[in-house]
Structure 1
Amino acid sequence: MDLTEHPVHESELFKGGFLHARRDRVRLPDGSLTEREYILHPGAVMIIPLLERAGGTLEVVLERQYRYPVQRTLIEFPAGKLDPGESALACAQRELREETGYVARQWARAGVLHPVVSYSTEVIEIWFARHLVSGKRALDAGEFLEVFSATPAQLQAWCRGGEVTDAKTLVGALWLQNVLGGAWPLTWQDVPAT
């Protein structure tokens, strides 16, 4: 069965500096017509930074950030949207450096996620970073966040207990668990700092 919905008429509802909203009239697989409202998004990256501590202890770098739409401070992995013409890896390197101050010597692309398929075109590429070197942050104007680290076990407990509710971070925790457990291997590459 072909489940494709075909656009009949496309219209713009709103175009801002970050989001672009549309309402399209579409033909459904049974031939009937309906409307679909959705947000166009430029795409984003999320980084799972692995921090090796003295004695071999592994931690992940996380952030606390107030998210206005949900009126809460959330625990999240570092992430950010793609700039026009920017590759996902370049974006991951930039966001990690700007938000946390860390630069990674090795990177591995894990996969992609679609966080809100019912109303957005957003795609987030998942990247792992390791061999971190600490440096100075360069937050965007109006960006306020706290950087901290936790063990993978702490992160899993926060996910299980409901302290972590951000969808991309929950998916990142799943990836982390499977990578560390050996079920989902990564291909690491040395990447010069930008």
Structure 2
Amino acid sequence: MNLTETTISSEPVYDGVLLHVRRDEVRLPDGETSGREWIEHPGASAVIPLYANGDTVLLRQFRYPPRREFLEAPAGKFDRPGEAPEALAARELEEEAGIRAETFTPLGVTYPCIGYSNEVIHLFLAEGLSDGVAGADDDEFVAPVRMPLAEAVEMARAGNILDSKTCVALLLAQAHLDARGEE
């Protein structure tokens, strides 16, 4: 059974700095039509840095929409034309956490909001870490938190890390390390 919905028409509802809201009319698999409202997002990269001793760094950050602090993987959205996902991960790791990495291993992608957005987040494991120069955006306030990766993974499994991209990235990083025989 083909489940594809085909766009008949599309109109902008709101064009913001980051997000663009659209209203589409679609043809359903059964031939009927329906409306779809969705958010167009430029995409992002998120990275789990891993020190040789097994530590990682997450960022404590206040997020306005849910009005609370979260522990998150360093991450950011695409805002430079043609920027590659790995380059974005490297840039955000240094800007937000003050860390440079020699290698970035792709862990996969995740679509965090499939019911209302096309956002895709590219996930990476960063190794060969050294000090970089932190320089978060003027309106961005983050506090790096260094901890053992195993502790961060357990926090994700226990429901103490609530950011979905971070949970997915931590679990995929751990699975990658397990597959190569490391903890």
| Same-fold call, TM cutoff 0.5 | yes
Query: Aligned partner of 1:149: which letter?
Result: R
Query: Aligned partner of 2:72: which letter?
Result: E
The whole-number CA distance in structure 2 between the counterparts of 1:96 and 1:143 is 14
Instruction: Give ranges in structure 2 of 5+ residues lacking alignment.
Output: none
Please report how far the alpha carbon of residue 183 of structure 1 lies from its aligned counterpart in structure 2 after TM superposition.
Answer: 6.6
Secondary structure of the corresponding residue to residue 135 of structure 2: coil
The TM-score with structure 1 as length reference comes to: 0.89
Please report how far the alpha carbon of residue 135 of structure 1 lies from its aligned counterpart in structure 2 after TM superposition.
Answer: 2.5
Task: Quote the RMSD (CA, aligned, Å).
Answer: 1.5
The whole-number CA distance in structure 2 between the counterparts of 1:156 and 1:126 is 15
What are the superposed Cα offsets for residues 98-137 of structure 1, whole Å, 9 maximum, x if unpaired? Answer: 0011110112112111111111111111111111111320
Q: Which runs of 4+ in 1 moved over 2 A?
A: none
Confirm or deny: 8 A CA contact 1:178 1:184 kept in the other structure: no
Query: Aligned partner of 1:65: which letter?
Result: Q
Q: Percent identity?
A: 42
The whole-number CA distance in structure 2 between the counterparts of 1:156 and 1:86 is 29
Secondary structure of the corresponding residue to residue 34 of structure 2: strand
The TM-score with structure 2 as length reference comes to: 0.94
Confirm or deny: 8 A CA contact 2:48 2:73 kept in the other structure: yes
Query: Aligned partner of 2:16: which letter?
Result: G
Query: In the alignment, what sits opposite 1:93?
Result: 90
The whole-number CA distance in structure 1 between the counterparts of 2:173 and 2:111 is 18
Instruction: Give ranges in structure 1 of 5+ residues lacking alignment.
Output: 186-194
Query: In the alignment, what sits opposite 1:26?
Result: 26
Secondary structure of the corresponding residue to residue 181 of structure 1: helix
Secondary structure of the corresponding residue to residue 105 of structure 1: strand
The whole-number CA distance in structure 1 between the counterparts of 2:180 and 2:109 is 17
Instruction: Give yes or no for the alignment of 1:79 onto 2:85.
Output: no
Within-5 A mapping of 1:36-47: 36-47=36-47
What are the superposed Cα offsets for residues 110-168 of structure 1, whole Å, 9 maximum, x if unpaired? Answer: 21111111111111111111111113201101100000111122112312332201000
Within-5 A mapping of 1:99-114: 99-114=96-111
Query: In the alignment, what sits opposite 2:131?
Result: 134
The whole-number CA distance in structure 2 between the counterparts of 1:90 and 1:177 is 22
The whole-number CA distance in structure 2 between the counterparts of 1:109 and 1:153 is 20
